[in-house]
């Protein structure tokens, strides 16, 4: 698909070479810049661009990543970074922008073609759908309003995603219900399911606070919404789900779900544990209450310490191919990462390390599926801040 592309490169010879590559691939170069401030100024008056090909080290004091951070305050434009300096610090900064690839110099026409191929479905309608999803689902600022200490990684395989997280504060009890969902498929089918499921969950949470009942009602509503003629859908056909309720007054968290696992870090024991939901529950060394409703899902209750951490994630994380032998990451390697970083109690630093770990593992492999990971320290639940921000956080 023909794309309008801006090139930001301080070496004029390389700039012309990249322009030649892109033109031969059938794309239109609508602007070339050597300075970060110049490209920022360009986007103050122009957003008719599909992609930015961005060098990191530029001619002025603003580097390519800083320029993208400024541009994306106004426009959600994807970027492909091209740099001779691919060290961890630059990579870590780049992943916080709308990065679609990070390529090393010297860049060949084939490298560029492969990166652009992954953006072949980048149309105005899909970009608009991405904006809709971002307005519906909690983003970093909203999550920070809930928990002072958290980790949030959200990497769609395509522009839009079937993975999402959700939160709902129970006004009377001052408890919070939240969770992570992984809808079947990715791209447009996954995105459609994610919006439908998110709406149903939000509606149910307005009236109920029993998470087992929420799961059962969600199953009923999805069956009702998706079943036509001879087609009958179950919740398990539509999404994998983990849902939790935090009771701050009791320092207790209830967790349930379908076909998912989560990782629990106990500060008291200084240990990470993989906890299974509806999957060989005998592996769990945690108090589990069996659910006898239509949807077979356990209810796990944990009395948490103020420094305990819970990691909820989709299987796009553990199913990603990579490493030296091109194998799936799997839950064991993810657990090994958390164990190796166990002394690091700063969750923002841990998020940086986790991002680098996942990127290194993937390497040059194509992303397998949507990825989402939510790590929360329930002891940092921000009750007082939420009271002030509540109107801006929730979309009911």
Residue 166 · residue 179 · CB < 8 Å? yes
Let me know if residue 130 belongs to a domain: no
CATH number, domain with residue 59: 3.40.50.2300
User: Phi/psi zone of residue 60: left (φ > 0), alpha (ψ -120 to 50 degrees), beta?
Assistant: beta
Would you place residue 112 in the very low, low, confident or very high pLDDT band (cuts 50, 70, 90)? confident
Let me know if residue 128 belongs to a domain: no
> pLDDT tens digit string along 300-317?
999 999 999 999 999 999
Judge if 167 and 231 occupy the same domain. Answer: yes
Judge if 118 and 139 occupy the same domain. Answer: no
- CA dist 19 → 27, 370, 384 (Å): 9, 31, 53
Let me know if residue 226 belongs to a domain: yes
pLDDT for residue 119 is more than 90: no
State whether residue 344 is helix, strand or coil: coil
Residue among 367, 391, 378 nearest 319 (CA): 367
User: Phi/psi zone of residue 209: left (φ > 0), alpha (ψ -120 to 50 degrees), beta?
Assistant: alpha
State whether residue 363 is helix, strand or coil: coil
Let me know if residue 129 belongs to a domain: no
How high is the pLDDT of residue 297?
66
Judge if 90 and 203 occupy the same domain. Answer: no
Q: Of 78-87, 131-140, 253-262, 292-301, where does mean pLDDT reach its minimum? A: 292-301
Judge if 81 and 230 occupy the same domain. Answer: no
Would you place residue 392 in the very low, low, confident or very high pLDDT band (cuts 50, 70, 90)? very low
* Cβ-Cβ contacts under 8 Å for 99 (sequence gap 6 or more): 78, 79, 80, 81
Judge if 102 and 32 occupy the same domain. Answer: yes
105 phi and psi angles, rounded to 5 deg = -80, 150
Judge if 153 and 277 occupy the same domain. Answer: yes
C-alpha to C-alpha distance for 380 and 263, rounded to whole angstroms = 18
H helix or E strand, kind and range, residue 126: helix 124-136
Judge if 216 and 334 occupy the same domain. Answer: yes
Let me know if residue 337 belongs to a domain: yes
Pairing, β 4-8 against β 51-55: parallel
Let me know if residue 53 belongs to a domain: yes
> pLDDT tens digit string along 69-85?
888 877 778 899 988 76
Judge if 300 and 359 occupy the same domain. Answer: yes
Let me know if residue 266 belongs to a domain: yes
Place of tokens 């603003």: 62
Terminus-to-terminus CA distance in the chain, angstroms?
A: 37
* pTM confidence score: 0.70
Q: Of 3-12, 110-119, 338-347, where does mean pLDDT reach its minimum? A: 110-119
State whether residue 124 is helix, strand or coil: helix
Judge if 153 and 99 occupy the same domain. Answer: no
> pLDDT tens digit string along 30-50?
999 999 999 999 988 766 888
Segment of 89-93, 157-161, 282-286 carrying the highest mean pLDDT: 157-161
Residue 375 · residue 347 · CB < 8 Å? yes
Quote the number of domains for the chain: 2
Judge if 64 and 150 occupy the same domain. Answer: no
Judge if 320 and 229 occupy the same domain. Answer: yes
Let me know if residue 20 belongs to a domain: yes
Pairing, β 260-266 against β 271-277: antiparallel
Judge if 100 and 249 occupy the same domain. Answer: no
Identify the domain containing residue 356 by its residue range.
135-393
C-alpha to C-alpha distance for 99 and 355, rounded to whole angstroms = 13
> pLDDT tens digit string along 25-34?
999 999 999 9
Residue among 98, 296, 257, 76 nearest 166 (CA): 257
Q: Which of 67, 100, 122 is the last residue of a domain?
A: 122
């Amino acid at each position: 698909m023909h794309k309008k592309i801006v090139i930001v490169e301080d070496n004029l010879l390389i700039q012309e070479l990249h322009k030649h590559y892109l033109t031969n691939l059938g794309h239109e170069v609508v602007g070339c810049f050597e300075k970060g401030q110049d490209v920022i100024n360009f986007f103050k008056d122009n957003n008719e661009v599909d992609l930015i090909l961005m060098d990191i080290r530029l001619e002025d004091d603003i580097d390519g990543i800083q320029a993208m951070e400024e541009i994306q305050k106004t426009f959600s434009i994807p970027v492909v970074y091209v740099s001779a300096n691919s060290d961890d610090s630059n990579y870590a900064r780049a992943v916080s922008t709308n990065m679609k690839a990070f390529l090393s110099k010297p860049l060949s026409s084939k490298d560029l073609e492969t990166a652009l191929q992954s953006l072949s479905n980048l149309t105005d309608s899909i970009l608009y759908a991405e904006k809709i999803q971002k307005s519906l689902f909690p983003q970093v600022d909203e999550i920070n309003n809930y928990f002072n200490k958290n980790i949030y990684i959200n990497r769609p395989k395509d522009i839009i995603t079937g993975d999402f997280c959700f939160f709902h504060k129970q006004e009377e009890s001052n408890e919070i219900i939240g969770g992570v969902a992984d809808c079947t498929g990715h791209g447009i089918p996954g995105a459609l399911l994610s919006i439908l499921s998110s709406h149903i969950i939000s509606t149910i949470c307005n009236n109920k606070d029993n998470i087992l009942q929420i799961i059962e009602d969600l199953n009923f509503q999805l069956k009702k919404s998706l079943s036509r003629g001879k087609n009958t859908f179950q919740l398990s056909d539509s999404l994998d789900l983990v849902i939790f309720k935090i009771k701050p007054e009791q320092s207790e968290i209830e967790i349930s779900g379908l076909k998912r696992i989560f990782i629990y870090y106990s500060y008291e024991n200084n240990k990470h544990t993989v906890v299974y939901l509806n999957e060989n529950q005998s592996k769990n060394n945690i108090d589990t209450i069996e659910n006898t409703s239509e949807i077979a899902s356990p209810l796990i209750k944990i009395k948490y310490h103020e420094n305990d951490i819970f990691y909820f994630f989709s299987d796009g994380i553990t199913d990603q191919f990579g490493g030296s032998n091109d194998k799936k990451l799997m839950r064991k390697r993810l657990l090994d990462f958390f164990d190796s970083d166990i002394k690091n109690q700063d969750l923002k630093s841990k998020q940086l390390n986790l991002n680098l770990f996942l990127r290194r593992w993937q390497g040059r492999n194509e992303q397998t599926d949507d990825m989402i990971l939510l790590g929360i320290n329930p002891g940092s639940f921000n009750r007082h801040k939420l009271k002030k921000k509540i109107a801006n956080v929730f979309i009911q």
